[in-house]
């Protein structure tokens, strides 16, 4: 025999179900916004290839799990990969290039993932090292592309460094950015990645 629930229990259960549906609707709304925003980024990235301007980067969080071609498979990084994997497609593929490598003293780079502040707040994502918080700051902004497997290099950002020098700006930190998309380049017959990039600068 099934025991009938009280009126208060029924009200609570209905309210909980309503909250569950509302949370789902909010996530779907953010997902729609993310998809449309990404479509716009893919559509316009080609127009920014090799063209530089000055603007502030957006506030975000990131962590790194690959250095050149070597992955960090430590327990903490494996856990982060699983946790952040649950928030796709709100996360983005992220890269970092150290200041010395930007200045031609090397060619190293690192890869990881980034996510916007509003998603961290909306999903109550816990933030702790090795996750890093980046605040808005002045940058040279541009885009570039890289064709072929493992063709990415710090040298793709040389034109941004040269733009800074020409405009009497000093590189003030590590460059970073996101992979916008990877598509088949029919002319080259290879996969081509399109990247948005940010180079922190300050007045010389």
**pTM strictly above 0.75:** yes
C-alpha R_g of the chain: 21
Per-residue model confidence as pLDDT tens for the chain (204 residues): 446 678 889 899 999 999 999 989 999 999 999 999 999 999 999 899 999 999 999 999 999 999 998 999 999 999 999 999 999 999 999 999 999 988 888 889 999 999 999 999 999 999 999 999 999 999 999 999 998 777 888 999 999 999 999 999 999 999 999 999 998 876 767 889 999 999 999 987
- Three-state secondary-structure class, residue 152: coil
Pairwise CA distance, residues 9 & 140, whole Å: 58
Q: How far apart are CA 179 and CA 194, in angstroms?
A: 6
Query: Which residues does 142 contact at the CB level (< 8 Å), separation at least 6?
Result: 48, 49, 50, 51, 52, 53, 159, 160, 163, 196, 197, 199
| CATH 1.10.8 at 39-203, yes or no | no
Q: What are phi and psi of 83, to 5 degrees?
A: -65, -50
DSSP H helical segments within 92-203, as ranges?
99-102, 117-122, 158-166
């Amino acid at each position: 025999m099934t025991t009938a629930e009280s009126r208060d229990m029924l009200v609570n259960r209905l309210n909980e179900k309503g909250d569950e549906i509302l949370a789902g609707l909010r996530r779907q709304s953010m997902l729609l916004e993310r998809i449309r925003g990404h479509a716009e980024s893919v559509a316009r990235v080609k127009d920014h290839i090799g063209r530089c301007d000055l603007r502030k980067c957006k506030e975000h969080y990131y962590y790194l799990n690959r250095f050149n071609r070597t992955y960090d498979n430590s327990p903490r990084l494996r856990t982060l990969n699983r946790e952040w994997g649950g928030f796709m497609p709100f996360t983005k593929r992220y890269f970092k290039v150290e200041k010395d490598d930007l200045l031609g003293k090397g060619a190293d780079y690192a890869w990881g993932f980034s996510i916007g502040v509003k998603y961290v707040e909306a999903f109550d994502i816990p933030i702790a090292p090795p996750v890093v918080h980046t605040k808005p700051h002045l940058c040279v902004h541009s885009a570039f592309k890289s064709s072929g497997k493992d063709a990415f290099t710090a040298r793709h950002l040389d034109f941004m460094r040269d733009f800074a020098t020409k405009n009497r700006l000093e590189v003030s930190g590590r460059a970073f950015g996101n992979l916008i998309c990877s598509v088949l380049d029919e002319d080259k017959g290879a996969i081509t990645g399109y990247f948005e990039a940010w180079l922190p600068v300050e007045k010389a």
